[in-house]
Chain A
C-alpha cells in the first residue's frame, strides 16, 4: 500500500477512455462497479464536451457479485452495440473488475458482433493513465490498420492527440499548417477525431508525426515495423524544436524544409530589452516527460532562464529525463509523489515553476510564480481561445504564458530600491495580478543581538542569523531571498562560521556572484 493524496495520473482505464472519447464511431464497454462513471465528468466538465463519452459501464453492485456479473457484461456489450451501432468496440476492466476476473476479453471474443471488438489488458495495479492511452491506441491500430498503397501526394498521419490532452486541439491545427507549408497533406489525425474507418486508412500515409510520445509511441513503432512508416522524433514545442522538426520532416518526406514564420513574434519579444531582466531567472520544471523536455530547452535557450531542476511523473520516460537532466547539469526527479516534488521545489527555491495543476498549488503555498506546461490540468487550461503549444503560434503563446506570472521589470527594480513603501512592497505580489493589495504589517522592534544571544543557545552545527543580518536579508527582493538565505548558510557552513553577520551575507553574495 502507498498513501496518496494526489495522483498525477488516473488508472489505465481512464487512458483508454481518453482514446475512446477522442475518436468517433468507437464504443468502449467497461466492466466496472457503480460509481466509476465519475470519469465521464472529466470530459463533460473539464474538457466541456457536449456529448457523453462513448463508454458503457456495467456498474455492477454488491448484489450482482453473488450472481452472474459475466452475464451483466455480455448484456452491456449487446445493448451498447444495438443502441450506438459503432464501427468497432473496445472492451476491458476497471481495477475492481480486474479482481473478479470475468474476462471481458475472452467473452467479447466469443460474441460475434460482426465488427472488430478489441480486448484491452490494462493492469490497474501496476500501470497508469498514460500507459492506458498508449496501449489502447496501439491495440486499435494493430487490430485495424493494414499496409496499403501510399497516397499519390506526400502525406502524413498526426498521431497522439487524445481527449483531455493539454492543448491537443490547437496543436493539431498548428502542426497541420506547418506540414501544409511544405506541401505535405494530413492523411489521418488519430485518435482525436478519427473513426475506425480512418484507422484503416492510416497505412496510406508516407510517414507519421508522433505528436505526443506518451500516447502513441507504441503505435508509432508498430506502424514503422508493419506499415513501413518512419515517424518523427522531434516534438515541435518552442522555436528551435519547431525548426528541427521542419528539418526532420523535410528529410523523411524528401521535400524542401520550407517555413513561413512571418507570424512568429517570440524571438523578438525575447530579444527586446524589456526581457533582459528574465536572464538567469531560476526555474524548476515538472510534468509529463514530453512537455518537460521541450520546455527545458525553451526556458534555457529561448527565454534565457536558468534551469535549476527538472523531473517527470511518468516513469516510462525516466531514462530520457535523466539524460536531459545531466545535459542541464541538474538532478532529475522521477516521482509521482507530489510531496517529493514539493520538497524538491522548497529546497531549490526557484523564482518560477513550470509544471502541472499540482505545481500551481505548490507555488501558491510557497509564494512562487507558476505557469502550467503539462497535464494534469484543470478547466482553465482548456481555453476557448486558440492556444497551441506547438509551432510558431505555440511559441508566441508560451512566451506570454511564461512571462505573465513574473513581476514586471520596473516593478522589480523599484521593489529592490525602495523596500519601505507601505503598499508597494514584495509581499503584495505582482501589481498586474488579482488579489487585494495588502498593506505592510508594521514590524515589531527587533530584539538586540544581546537579547537574541540570551535566548536558547544554538545547538552544535546550527547557524544563527544575527538580527542585523536578518534585517539585511529582508532587503533582498522576495523572489531571490530564499536562494540568498540558503547560499549564505551553505557558505557559512563551509567556512565554519556559526553566526551570520551582514558581512557574511555579502561575502557569500560575492562568492556566488554570477
Chain B
C-alpha cells in the first residue's frame, strides 16, 4: 500500500489530443438543474423567466415532480412583453409579489435566465437587486442563467451555486467546504467519514436552508464533489479559498483518493485514515465485483451530457474492467478533471462538444457493448441492436462515495444483464 493514491497508468489522457466538435448538440439546457436543486434547497424558489418552451421542458423533465407543489415555476413572456408594450420589470415585480404572497416560506428566490430572456436582454441581475431591496430582510433574490445558449445540463447547478458565492459571509475559519448538491444520504455518509477522521469543521454548499449557508475565506479549503462546478470553483478562489485537486469520489478507488487528498490537507495520519476507510473500502470492492462480472471486457462509448463522463470512464475502466472507445463531454476543464484524466489509460477518443450525426456515425462504426447517451438517443439506438445506459439517471441516483459504488456499477451492468435475459424474445415494434 503506497499511501492511498492509486498508481496511474503508464500513460494517462491528460495530454491526449481532444477532438473538438461543433454542430447539432443533443443535450439539455441548464434549466434542468432546477429539477434536483429545488429538492435540495428547502426554502428556495426557482422562477424561470422564459417562454412556453421553458415551462414545457421543465414539466417534461420533472415528470411527476410537477404536481408536488414544486418550488419552481415559469414566468412566461407574452407578446406584450416583447413588443415593449409592457414594462418587463413591472410585470416581473408583480409576478414575484404574487408568488411570495402565496409562499411565505420562501427565503431565497432565484430568477433564472433563459434563451428568450437573454436574447431580448432582460436585465435579471438588476431585477434581482431591486427585488432583494423590496423584499428584504425576508427574501434574498438572486439571478443566474440556465439558458441553452449559455449552459449545458449540469452547468445549471454550477451557475446557481456560483451566483451564491459572492453572497456568502466572510470567515477566517480553517474549514473544509464540500461543494455540489448531493443526495442527503450521500452527504451524510461523506460527513460521517470526514468526522471519523477528525476533519472539522466541514460545511456544505448548497446548504439545505438559506440560514445554514457556509462562510468562505482565505482559510477555506474546497473539495468538489461534482466535476461540472467550474464557475463555482473560480468564484470560491476569488474569495480566497483553495481548491483541492483530486479525482472525483466515484467507486472505491475514486472515493479513497478524494478522501486521502482531504486527509493529507488536514494532517490525518495514514493509520487513522486506514482505520476509518478499510471496512467501507472492502465493502465497496465486494459490491463492485458483483457488477464487474457483467462489465469486465466490455467496451463503452460516452455521448456528452453532464461532464461526469471522464470520472465515470475512469471508474468503469479501472474498477470494472471496461474499455473506453470514446469519452465525450460537453465541456472539459483540465484543471478540475485533470486528476481523473491522469488515471484514465490512454486509448479512448476524448471528445469535447458535439456534432450528433457524426458522433452517431462513429458510435455505429465502433459498435460498443454499452453506449451512455441521453433519452433522445437511447431507444433509437436500442432498436438498432445497441445496448444503452441513459445518462440522466447518473445525475438522479445516489452514486458518490463507498456505499454507492456497487449501485453505480450496477447502473451500467443492468442494461447488459437485461439484454441477456431477454435474448430469446422475438419481434420488435
Interface residues of A (CB under 8 A from B): 1-7, 9-11, 13-14, 33-42, 44-45, 48-52, 56-62, 64-65, 76, 79, 83, 94-96, 99-100, 123-126, 128, 358, 361, 364-365, 378
Q: A7-B52, A33-B29, A57-B24 are in contact. List 8 more A-B contacts (CB 8 A).
A: A1-B75, A1-B95, A4-B73, A36-B29, A44-B376, A44-B379, A58-B24, A96-B115
| Complex A-B: 15 CB contacts under 8 Å | A1-B81, A2-B75, A5-B66, A5-B70, A10-B53, A41-B376, A44-B378, A45-B379, A57-B24, A59-B23, A59-B148, A79-B357, A99-B82, A99-B120, A125-B77
Q: Which 8 A-B pairs have the closest CB atoms?
A: A35-B148, A35-B29, A40-B376, A50-B383, A361-B67, A96-B115, A95-B51, A10-B56
| Interface-side segment among B57-65, B202-210, B279-287, B393-401 | B57-65
- Once the chains bind, are B60 and A3 in contact (CB under 8 Å)? no
- Any chain A CB within 8 A of the CB of B254? no
- Once the chains bind, are B73 and A61 in contact (CB under 8 Å)? no
From A13, A35, A76, B115 is in contact (CB under 8 Å) with A35
- Once the chains bind, are A34 and B25 in contact (CB under 8 Å)? yes
From B24, B66, B98, A59 is in contact (CB under 8 Å) with B24
Question: Which residues in A have their C-beta under 8 angstroms from that of B186?
Answer: none
- Once the chains bind, are A41 and B60 in contact (CB under 8 Å)? yes
- Once the chains bind, are B95 and A59 in contact (CB under 8 Å)? no
- Once the chains bind, are A65 and B59 in contact (CB under 8 Å)? no
Question: Which residues in B have their C-beta under 8 angstroms from that of A51?
Answer: 380, 383
- Once the chains bind, are A49 and B379 in contact (CB under 8 Å)? yes
- Bound-complex Cα distance A52 to B375 (A): 10
B118 — nearest CB in chain A belongs to which residue? A62
- Any chain A CB within 8 A of the CB of B265? no
Question: Which residues in B have their C-beta under 8 angstroms from that of A4?
Answer: 52, 55, 73-76
B330 — nearest CB in chain A belongs to which residue? A34
B79 — nearest CB in chain A belongs to which residue? A125
- Once the chains bind, are B375 and A44 in contact (CB under 8 Å)? yes
- Once the chains bind, are B379 and A7 in contact (CB under 8 Å)? no
From A1, A10, A13, A358, B49 is in contact (CB under 8 Å) with A1
A59 — nearest CB in chain B belongs to which residue? B25
A100 — nearest CB in chain B belongs to which residue? B119
- Any chain A CB within 8 A of the CB of B88? yes
Question: Which residues in B have their C-beta under 8 angstroms from that of A100?
Answer: 119
Question: Which residues in B have their C-beta under 8 angstroms from that of A41?
Answer: 60, 374-376
Question: Which residues in A have their C-beta under 8 angstroms from that of B369?
Answer: none
How distant is A65 from chain B, measured CB to nearest CB, in Å? 7
From A38, A96, A125, B28 is in contact (CB under 8 Å) with A38
Question: Which residues in A have their C-beta under 8 angstroms from that of B382?
Answer: 50
Given A33-B29, A99-B119: A7 in contact with B67 (beta carbons within 8 A): no
- Once the chains bind, are B95 and A33 in contact (CB under 8 Å)? no
- Bound-complex Cα distance A52 to B70 (A): 31
Question: Which residues in A have their C-beta under 8 angstroms from that of B376?
Answer: 37-38, 40-41, 44, 52
- Once the chains bind, are B116 and A96 in contact (CB under 8 Å)? yes
Interface residues of B (CB under 8 A from A): 23-32, 47, 49, 51-53, 55-57, 59-61, 63-64, 66-67, 70, 72-79, 81-82, 86, 88, 91-92, 94-95, 98-99, 115-116, 118-120, 147-150, 152, 357, 374-380, 382-383, 428-429
Majority secondary structure, A binding face: mixed
- Once the chains bind, are B78 and A36 in contact (CB under 8 Å)? no
Number of A-B contacts (CB under 8 A): 183
- Once the chains bind, are A61 and B149 in contact (CB under 8 Å)? yes
- Once the chains bind, are B149 and A128 in contact (CB under 8 Å)? no
B119 — nearest CB in chain A belongs to which residue? A99
How distant is A293 from chain B, measured CB to nearest CB, in Å? 25
A124 — nearest CB in chain B belongs to which residue? B51
Residue among A61, A123, A365 with most chain B CB within 10 A? A61
Question: Which residues in B have their C-beta under 8 angstroms from that of A76?
Answer: 24
How distant is B180 from chain A, measured CB to nearest CB, in Å? 22
B25 — nearest CB in chain A belongs to which residue? A59
- Bound-complex Cα distance A34 to B18 (A): 21
- Once the chains bind, are A5 and B73 in contact (CB under 8 Å)? yes
A376 — nearest CB in chain B belongs to which residue? B59
- Bound-complex Cα distance A4 to B429 (A): 37
From B56, B75, B92, A11 is in contact (CB under 8 Å) with B56
- Bound-complex Cα distance A6 to B61 (A): 12
Question: Which residues in A have their C-beta under 8 angstroms from that of B148?
Answer: 33-36, 59, 61, 96
- Once the chains bind, are B53 and A11 in contact (CB under 8 Å)? yes
Question: Which residues in B have their C-beta under 8 angstroms from that of A9?
Answer: 52
Given A34-B148, A41-B374, A59-B25: A96 in contact with B51 (beta carbons within 8 A): yes
- Once the chains bind, are A125 and B51 in contact (CB under 8 Å)? yes
Question: Which residues in A have their C-beta under 8 angstroms from that of B28?
Answer: 35, 38
From A1, A50, A128, B88 is in contact (CB under 8 Å) with A1
- Bound-complex Cα distance A99 to B23 (A): 21
From A14, A60, A79, B149 is in contact (CB under 8 Å) with A60
How distant is A460 from chain B, measured CB to nearest CB, in Å? 26
Question: Which residues in A have their C-beta under 8 angstroms from that of B357?
Answer: 79, 83
Question: Which residues in B have their C-beta under 8 angstroms from that of A50?
Answer: 379-380, 382-383, 428-429
- Once the chains bind, are B57 and A38 in contact (CB under 8 Å)? yes
- Once the chains bind, are B379 and A48 in contact (CB under 8 Å)? yes
Question: Which residues in A have their C-beta under 8 angstroms from that of B27?
Answer: 34-35, 37
Question: Which residues in B have their C-beta under 8 angstroms from that of A37?
Answer: 24-27, 376
Residue among B53, B73, B149 with most chain A CB within 10 A? B53
How distant is B279 from chain A, measured CB to nearest CB, in Å? 36
Question: Which residues in A have their C-beta under 8 angstroms from that of B98?
Answer: 3
Question: Which residues in A have their C-beta under 8 angstroms from that of B75?
Answer: 1-4
Question: Which residues in B have their C-beta under 8 angstroms from that of A365?
Answer: 67
How distant is B130 from chain A, measured CB to nearest CB, in Å? 16
- Once the chains bind, are B31 and A1 in contact (CB under 8 Å)? no
A125 — nearest CB in chain B belongs to which residue? B79
- Bound-complex Cα distance A83 to B23 (A): 14
Given A5-B66, A33-B148, A41-B60: A94 in contact with B53 (beta carbons within 8 A): yes
B99 — nearest CB in chain A belongs to which residue? A3
How distant is B258 from chain A, measured CB to nearest CB, in Å? 31
- Bound-complex Cα distance A231 to B76 (A): 37
How distant is B386 from chain A, measured CB to nearest CB, in Å? 12
- Once the chains bind, are B53 and A6 in contact (CB under 8 Å)? no
- Once the chains bind, are A3 and B52 in contact (CB under 8 Å)? no
Question: Which residues in A have their C-beta under 8 angstroms from that of B95?
Answer: 1-3
- Bound-complex Cα distance A4 to B81 (A): 16
From B70, B74, B383, B428, A3 is in contact (CB under 8 Å) with B74
- Once the chains bind, are A14 and B56 in contact (CB under 8 Å)? yes
How distant is A76 from chain B, measured CB to nearest CB, in Å? 7
- Bound-complex Cα distance A101 to B272 (A): 64
- Bound-complex Cα distance A41 to B63 (A): 12
- Bound-complex Cα distance A5 to B45 (A): 12
- Once the chains bind, are A95 and B53 in contact (CB under 8 Å)? yes
- Once the chains bind, are B149 and A62 in contact (CB under 8 Å)? yes
- Once the chains bind, are A2 and B66 in contact (CB under 8 Å)? no
How distant is B153 from chain A, measured CB to nearest CB, in Å? 8
How distant is A100 from chain B, measured CB to nearest CB, in Å? 6
- Once the chains bind, are B60 and A38 in contact (CB under 8 Å)? yes
- Once the chains bind, are A35 and B379 in contact (CB under 8 Å)? no
B30 — nearest CB in chain A belongs to which residue? A35
Question: Which residues in B have their C-beta under 8 angstroms from that of A378?
Answer: 63
- Bound-complex Cα distance A42 to B149 (A): 21
- Bound-complex Cα distance A367 to B23 (A): 49
How distant is B85 from chain A, measured CB to nearest CB, in Å? 12
Given A4-B76, A65-B119, A99-B116: A42 in contact with B60 (beta carbons within 8 A): yes
Residue among A41, A65, A99, A361 with most chain B CB within 10 A? A41
- Bound-complex Cα distance A417 to B79 (A): 58
How distant is A240 from chain B, measured CB to nearest CB, in Å? 34
- Bound-complex Cα distance A40 to B356 (A): 13
A2 — nearest CB in chain B belongs to which residue? B76
Question: Which residues in A have their C-beta under 8 angstroms from that of B115?
Answer: 33, 35, 95-96
Question: Which residues in B have their C-beta under 8 angstroms from that of A361?
Answer: 64, 66-67
Question: Which residues in B have their C-beta under 8 angstroms from that of A40?
Answer: 26, 375-376
- Bound-complex Cα distance A123 to B82 (A): 12
How distant is B367 from chain A, measured CB to nearest CB, in Å? 18
From A3, A6, A45, A48, B66 is in contact (CB under 8 Å) with A6
